[in-house]
Amino acid sequence: MMRKFVCASVVLVLVGTIALAESVRGTITKITDDEVTITVGRKKGEKGTEKTYKLSATAKVLRMKGKDDTQDSKVSDLKKALEENKRGVLGVIEVKDDKVTEIKYGTLRRKGKKKADTE
């Protein structure tokens, strides 16, 4: 009986710890050295809700290269991407205890549109 109780407690703690982290998907519109602003729920012709989160000192920044591939990046690279794209950059941020622990960002090419040849 005691073994079942201990196992159930361990499972509950593990599941509860995993559930504390939150993934927020949207358009990253602004980043400073200590904050990230992301717009979520934006649809064509409508404005989304802006959310601002504190940036953790140990936050990882990753650039998405494809559907499942990422490469290490820096906050300065993300700032440069935001300067190039005034409307923002697509991204996913991981939030734990109201602090951003990981940022994944990148731009997606639309299907059917190819880069023009420069020859």
pLDDT in tens, 42-51: 777 778 889 9
The per-residue DSSP string of the chain comes to -HHHHHHHHHHHHHHHHHHT-EEEEEEEEEE-SSEEEEEES--TTS--EEEEEEEEEEEEEEEE-SSS-EEE--HHHHHHHHHH-TT-EEEEEEEETTEEEEEEEE--PPTT--PPP--
- pLDDT below 50 — which residues of the chain? 116-119
CATH numeric code, 21-106: 2.40.50
State pTM to two decimals.
Answer: 0.68
